[in-house]
């Protein structure tokens, strides 16, 4: 895409700029255009594409600057370089910078840009649509220039155009393995049966279940198989990850880029003084209704959300650290709580819910260790699904979960980085249910949380999510409730189902 940047800014000094000082500015401008702005730009790039001060003037204590650029030493970058060069020169004339105002900033982008790719953001004060592109007029501060906000805006528009182009296409999906076919034992939806026989009931909140003792026996049996037959033999140690995730973690994990439609948000009270809340309790006592609007006034904005992907809140444990060669690869897992996703209309049975239980397996080390660890895990899963649980399942390479959760599509650029989804057939409707995944996440998390390894090599990480409700849904959908059809491995972990509750 053809890019042009334009900037007008004023540098205000503590006193009037005398003619000698103005002459000195002229010299800095010349040098900036000839040398400073060319620094780091390939020699073959034409003058027109590089940042250039096209106009400047002095009036009283104010130096006005106009800069134009193509994609090299972009106007904001050029301005910062110029500011750094001119400040000491003016210092020699006893002039100190008192303030900097960015008067205008524009980005012109040429190419096919659909309207939907133009962001609606407070710093975009105006948009001009032209025949061959758009011009964004921005109101920016010096701090915004330092944060390279114009570059990020360009990237955002490019991403939106790309997403649009991908829009119609299905998510990436590429078959890697298919298990043998299995005899059909059951053809109903097991969630309906769970409800009918009273092993589970809907929770009071949407997409939430209360599992009775008989259902939990099976869920825990499957969990035991995962932990005792796969996770522990492979050397993973148990940890407890937090389940309330603050924005900082999601900024570093990338989730802050796209997870908003699916988060369960968490807010803290503005005060824990009972007097501050008294009218809320009184209102409830008198009306029997919880006054949600009154509560809204008394809570802070969300500090983050409930556990979503499970592994991001692990990373602060190693943030900023360098790990010794001897302890690598690190292999840990967490099964300490629920994950929450606002699924809206997508809720289905026990397998697609707003609140679910998952074992999250996480590892990191060198690139080689990380890829090998993923392969070993995959081999162990394959053995368990084929030989122990005797499931009909398949495995496919899909859009990496961390890209999907950031709202991106397609696959990663590095072939060994990516997600494998494990899917089981649901005989009652012929659909395939994704019941777990294994991912090599590349350097994304070590980089995001600044984690290094002793050898100085690049650090990679991986993770695998085992959805317990989904294992259960897949198992029951294929094996049904007649225990004579259940594999021995599961049978020996569950007792005869006992009816603890007798409803009259």
Residues contributing to the site for Zn ion (CB under 5 A): 311, 463
Q: What is the largest CA-CA distance in the chain?
A: 99
Choose the one of Zn ion, ligand SER, none that binds residue 469, judging by a C-beta under 5 to 8 angstroms depending on kind: none
For the CB of residue 275, give the shortest distance to ligand SER in the complex, in Å: 42
383 has which bridge partners? none
Q: Name the residue number minimizing CB distance to ligand SER.
A: 465
Is 4 one of the annotated active-site residues of the chain? no
For the CB of residue 466, give the shortest distance to ligand SER in the complex, in Å: 8
Is 437 one of the annotated active-site residues of the chain? yes
Is 220 one of the annotated active-site residues of the chain? no
Is 48 one of the annotated active-site residues of the chain? no
CB nearer to ligand SER: give 76 or 420: 420
Q: Which of residues 438-457 bind ligand SER (CB under 6 A)?
A: none
Among 214, 253, 370, 437, binds ligand SER (CB under 6 A): 437
Is position 313 an interface residue for ligand SER (rule: CB under 6 A)?
A: no
- How many residues would you count in the chain? 504
Among 105, 465, 470, 472, binds ligand SER (CB under 6 A): 465
Q: Are 286 and 323 in contact (CB under 8 A)?
A: no
Is position 360 an interface residue for ligand SER (rule: CB under 6 A)?
A: yes
- The site for ligand SER, by CB under 6 A, has a size of 8
Q: Are 259 and 250 in contact (CB under 8 A)?
A: yes
Is 392 one of the annotated active-site residues of the chain? no
CB nearer to Zn ion: give 58 or 463: 463
Among 200, 463, 468, 490, binds ligand SER (CB under 6 A): 463
CA-to-CA distance for 349 and 477, rounded, in angstroms? 11
Choose the one of Zn ion, ligand SER, none that binds residue 401, judging by a C-beta under 5 to 8 angstroms depending on kind: ligand SER
Instruction: Out of 437, 441, 459, 469, pick the active-site residue.
Output: 437
Three-state secondary structure along 144-204? HHHCCHHHHHHHHHHHHHHHHHHCCCCCCEEEEEECCCCCCCCCCCHHHHHHHCCCEEECC
- Closest of 318, 339, 336 to residue 436, by C-alpha: 339
Is 459 one of the annotated active-site residues of the chain? no
Collect all residues with Cβ–Cβ distance below 8 Å to 399 and sequence separation of at least 6: 171, 172, 408, 409, 410, 411, 419
Q: How many CB atoms lie within 10 A of CB 389?
A: 21
- Closest of 500, 504, 503 to residue 212, by C-alpha: 500
Q: Given the rule CB under 6 A, which of 81-89, 112-120, 304-312, 495-503 is the region that contacts ligand SER?
A: 304-312
Is 463 one of the annotated active-site residues of the chain? yes
CB nearer to Zn ion: give 50 or 307: 307
CB nearer to ligand SER: give 214 or 437: 437
- In the stretch 118-137, what mask flags binding to ligand SER with x, by CB under 6 A? --------------------
Phi, psi dihedral angles at 413 (to 5 degrees): -80, -25
The DSSP secondary structure of 87-104, one letter per residue, reads HHHHHHTT--EEEEEEEE
Instruction: Out of 159, 386, 434, 457, pick the active-site residue.
Output: 434
How many helices (H) and strands (E) are present in the chain, helices listed first?
14, 22
Is 104 one of the annotated active-site residues of the chain? no
CB nearer to ligand SER: give 340 or 479: 340
Three-state secondary structure along 258-317? CCHHHCCEECCECCCCHHHHHHHHHHHHHHCCCCHHHHHHCECCCCEEECCCCCHHHHHH
Is 469 one of the annotated active-site residues of the chain? no
Is position 401 an interface residue for ligand SER (rule: CB under 6 A)?
A: yes
Is 352 one of the annotated active-site residues of the chain? yes
Q: Is 456 helix (H, G, I), strand (E, B) or coil?
A: coil
Binding footprint of ligand SER on the chain (CB under 6 A)? 309-311, 360, 401, 437, 463, 465
Residues designated as active site: 311, 341, 343, 352, 360, 421, 434, 437, 463, 470
């Amino acid at each position: 895409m053809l890019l042009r940047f334009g900037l007008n800014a004023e540098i205000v000094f503590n006193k009037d700029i005398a003619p000698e000082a103005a002459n000195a500015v002229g010299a800095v401008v010349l040098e900036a255009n000839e040398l400073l702005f060319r620094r780091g730009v390939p020699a073959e790039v034409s003058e027109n594409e590089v940042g250039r001060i096209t106009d400047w003037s002095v009036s009283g204590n104010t130096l006005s600057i106009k800069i134009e650029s193509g994609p090299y030493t972009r106007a904001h970058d050029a301005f910062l370089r110029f500011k750094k060069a001119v400040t000491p020169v003016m210092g020699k004339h006893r002039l100190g910078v008192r303030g900097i105002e960015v008067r205008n900033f524009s980005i012109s982008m040429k190419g096919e840009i659909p309207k939907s790719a133009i962001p609606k953001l407070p710093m975009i004060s105006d948009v001009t649509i032209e025949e061959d592109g758009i011009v964004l007029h921005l109101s920016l501060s010096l701090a915004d220039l330092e944060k390279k906000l114009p570059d990020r805006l360009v990237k955002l528009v490019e991403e939106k155009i790309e997403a649009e182009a991908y829009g119609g296409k299905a998510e990436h999906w590429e078959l890697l393995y298919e298990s043998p076919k299995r005899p059909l034992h059951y053809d109903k939806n097991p969630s309906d049966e769970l409800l009918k026989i009273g092993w589970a009931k809907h929770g009071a909140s949407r997409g939430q279940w209360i599992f009775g003792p008989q259902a939990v026996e099976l869920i825990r049996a499957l969990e035991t198989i995962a932990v005792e037959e796969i996770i522990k033999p492979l050397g993973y140690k148990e940890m407890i990850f937090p389940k309330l995730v603050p924005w900082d973690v999601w900024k570093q994990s990338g989730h802050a880029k796209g997870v908003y439609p699916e988060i369960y948000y968490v807010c803290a009270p503005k005060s824990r003084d009972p007097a501050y809340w008294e009218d809320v309790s009184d209102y409830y006592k008198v009306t029997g209704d919880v006054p949600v609007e009154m509560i809204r006034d008394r809570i802070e904005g969300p500090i983050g959300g409930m556990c979503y992907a499970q592994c991001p809140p692990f990373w602060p444990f190693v943030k900023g650290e360098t790990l010794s060669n001897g302890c690598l690869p690190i292999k840990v897992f967490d099964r300490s709580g629920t994950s929450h996703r606002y699924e809206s209309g997508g809720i289905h049975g026990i397998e697609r819910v707003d609140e679910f239980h998952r074992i999250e397996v996480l590892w990191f080390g060198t690139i080689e260790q990380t890829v090998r660890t993923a392969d070993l895990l995959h081999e162990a899963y394959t053995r368990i699904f084929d030989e122990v649980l005797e499931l009909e399942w398949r495995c496919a390479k899909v859009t990496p979960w961390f890209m999907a959760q950031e709202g991106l599509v397609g696959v990663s650029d590095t072939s060994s980085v990516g997600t494998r989804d494990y899917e089981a057939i649901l005989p009652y409707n012929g659909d395939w249910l994704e019941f777990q995944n294994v991912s090599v996440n590349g350097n994304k998390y070590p980089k995001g949380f600044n984690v290094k390894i002793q050898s100085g090599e690049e650090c990679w990480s991986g993770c695998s999510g085992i959805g317990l409700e989904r294992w259960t849904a897949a198992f029951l959908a294929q094996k049904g409730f007649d225990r004579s059809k259940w594999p021995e491995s599961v049978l020996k972990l569950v007792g005869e189902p006992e009816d603890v509750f007798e409803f009259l």
